[in-house]
Structure 1
């Protein structure tokens, strides 16, 4: 697996308020703003942050809703998904494509830590 970047996803009640905090006080900038999330980054070695709005109706039980998610952006995610599945890794969200151009899956480690693997791809156009 080739990890090209990493980040932490934080599930919060108000992504915009958290974004204002990180951009005003800690030097982050908004990289991507979506309907229910805001991605933040910096030009130095700081980890990227993704602020996701807490929406219990959006997630099904057992499908990876966590307050903190470790995120790795990788290459060849479909191949990695098959490898991890064949190795018996605990997959909490199977491989899926989001309309904004993200291929993703989630794993859970033996201690309950949620790990999300993503690959950026072309957005779905209507």
Structure 2
């Protein structure tokens, strides 16, 4: 199989509000918009939001997403943390370094969507062997 594109589509109650969050805070641009669906792009990266009650979703699955964590990798997590904090974005996990090789923090987008902003850092010795050389 040859995959041409792969991206998440988040089922939400307020597609325009969620889209605004990602355009205002993470540099996404709107590629397509209706009142029930918004397609976003930032370079080669794509994200879409869909009204969770839309009839294209099979019955029994027309619910807002829950428990979603989106990762955004950046060059400098500390500067992004400062920028987003100044913008009043809701912080759910403060900036911290993890032994497994991440400096990160987590913010909340509308609809209880979590966004983990990550900078790779050298892992502690006990995690170094867990990284696959070809990855």
Please give the range of the TM-score, normalised by the shorter of the 2 chains.
0.3 to 0.5
Structure with bigger RCO (C-alpha 8 Å, 6+ apart): 1
Q: Which has the larger radius of gyration?
A: 2
Please report the TM-score for the alignment, with normalisation by the length of structure 1: 0.45
| TM-score w.r.t. length of structure 2 | 0.42
